[in-house]
A and B are shown apart, each in its own frame.
Chain A
Amino acid sequence: TQLLEQSPQFLSIQEGENLTVYCNSSSVFSSLQWYRQEPGEGPVLLVTVVTGGEVKKLKRLTFQFGDARKDSSLHITAAQPGDTGLYLCARDRGNKLVFGAGTILRVKS
């Protein structure tokens, strides 16, 4: 059983469309990180959210941490082919960082 559930598993959209991916847990976590991974490379941190209800923006990406600190979402506005990749959320578990299975995003031009 995944500690973190990510949905959808796969998303294929046209350039210019908007999309939202989700990360959910059955338990409260103190912080959550979002990473993006491109083929053949390691994941790279996009953002860390630590406060319930927090919203952070990174250009066309908007990250939200749920009020109850059990869920998070990533919204991309006007997706571009360069957004293609695997989006991973990760939560703390003591000294460990536990990852979800990820959402594969493909943006077609």
Chain B
Amino acid sequence: NAGVTQTPKFQVLKTGQSMTLQCAQDMNHEYMSWYRQDPGMGLRLIHYSVGAGITDQGEVPNGYNVSRSTTEDFPLRLLSAAPSQTSVYFCASSKTGSNTGELFFGEGSRLTVL
């Protein structure tokens, strides 16, 4: 099983450029989420989805958009990249999204904004 697949693994952008981080899972999980990880700050939730067609904001949603048109895919869009968005981004999925559900993470996407 591939689990959670993120692409690209590395990306360098210039300020103001847009891009989409892709995330796909093959476990038929209802719940998907995006986190960013910065030194000393752990993982911070950007957006999440409890099922196809439903998305909601996390702790740090500004500057990011998401959509969930299928159960499998949950892309994260940066409309106008800023240096403050330099980070490592992780996509994660869970079978139910309940408060005891295990999150399965992708390997991460390292983004640098110049």
Interface residues of A (CB under 8 A from B): 2, 6, 9, 30-31, 33, 35, 40-45, 48, 50, 88, 90, 92, 94-102
* Stretch in B42-50, B63-71, B78-86 touching the partner: B42-50
Contact of B100 among A9, A40, A92 (CB under 8 A): A92
Of A9, A48, A90, A97, the contact of B40 (CB 8 Å cutoff): A9
Chain B residues contacting A99 (CB-CB under 8 Å) are: 35, 42-44
Cβ contact within 8 Å between A96 and B43: no
Contact, CB under 8 Å: A30 / B105: no
B102 at the interface (CB under 8 A from A): yes
Which of chain B's residues has its CB closest to A3's CB?
B59
Q: Are A42 and B45 in contact (CB under 8 A)?
A: no
Q: Kindly list chain B residues whose C-beta atoms are within 8 Å of the C-beta of A35.
A: 103
Of all chain A residues, the one with the shortest Cβ separation from B45 is A96
Further contacts, 5 of them, CB under 8 A, given A42-B92, A96-B48, A98-B59: A33-B100, A43-B103, A96-B59, A99-B35, A99-B42
Find out whether the CB atom of B105 lies under 8 angstroms from the CB atom of A42.
Answer: yes
With A40-B107, A48-B100 as contacts: A101 and B58 at CB distance below 8 Å: no
Q: Is the CB of B100 within 8 A of A50?
A: yes
Residues of A within 8 A of B99 (CB): 30-31, 92, 94, 97
Which residues of A are found within 8 Å of B44, using beta-carbon distances? 99
Expressed in whole angstroms, the Cα–Cα distance for A96 and B35 within the complex equals: 11
In the complex, are the beta carbons of A43 and B43 less than 8 A apart? yes
Minimum-distance CB pairs A-B, first 4: A42-B105, A92-B99, A101-B42, A99-B43
Chain A nearest Cβ from B56, distance in angstroms: 7
Q: Is B107 within 8 A of A48, CB to CB?
A: no
Docked pose: A33 CA to B101 CA in angstroms: 9
